[in-house]
Amino acid sequence: MQLLAQVLVNGVLLGGLYALMALGLALVWGVLNIVNLAHGALIMLGAYVGYYLFTLLDVDPFIALPIAMVVLFCVGYLLQAGILNLIARAAMFNTLLITFGIDVVLTQLAQMLFSADYRTINPGYAGANFMLFGITLPWVRVLAFAVALLLTLAMWLFLLHTRLGRGIRATAQNLGAARLYGVSPKRIYALTFGIGAALAGGAGDLYGVVSQINPYIGATLTAKSFAIAIIGGLESPLGVVVGGIFLGIVESLTALYIGPTFVDVASFGILVLVLIFRPNGLLGSTT
pLDDT at 103: 93
Query: 220-252: b or e for each residue (b if 16 or more CB lie within 10 Å)?
Result: ebbbbbbbbbbbbbbebbebbbbbbbbbbbbbb
> Angle CA(261)–CA(254)–CA(22) in degrees, nearest 5?
90
pLDDT < 70: residue spans in the chain: 1, 88-90, 174-178, 180-182, 234-236, 279-287
Asked if residue 258 lies in contact with residue 250, where contact means CB atoms within 8 angstroms, the answer is: no
- How far, in Å, are 37, 88, 181, 188, 189 from residue 177 at the CA level? 29, 17, 7, 14, 16
pLDDT for 84: 83
Whether 8 and 190 have beta carbons less than 8 Å apart is answered as: no
- Element containing residue 130 per DSSP (H, E): strand 129-132
Q: Which residues of 72-92 are buried (b: 16+ CB within 10 A; e: fewer)?
A: bbebbbebbbeebbeeeeeee
When the candidates are 1.10.287, 1.20.120, 1.10.3470, 3.30.450, the CATH number that belongs to 2-277 is: 1.10.3470
Question: Is residue 119 classed as helix, strand or coil in its secondary structure?
Answer: strand
Q: Give the whole-angstrom CA distance, residue 103 versus residue 115.
A: 17
Q: How far apart are CA 100 and CA 222, in angstroms?
A: 11
Digit-coded pLDDT (tens) for 8-45: 888 888 888 888 888 889 888 877 778 889 999 999 99
pLDDT at 283: 61
pLDDT at 279: 66
Q: What integer best gives the mean pLDDT of the chain?
A: 84
Instruction: Give residue 69's pLDDT.
Output: 95
Q: Which pLDDT does position 239 carry in this prediction?
A: 78
Q: What pLDDT does 55 receive?
A: 92
Q: What is the pLDDT of residue 92?
A: 73
pTM of the model: 0.90
Which of 68, 80, 82 is CA-nearest to residue 38?
A: 80
Residue 261 pLDDT: 81
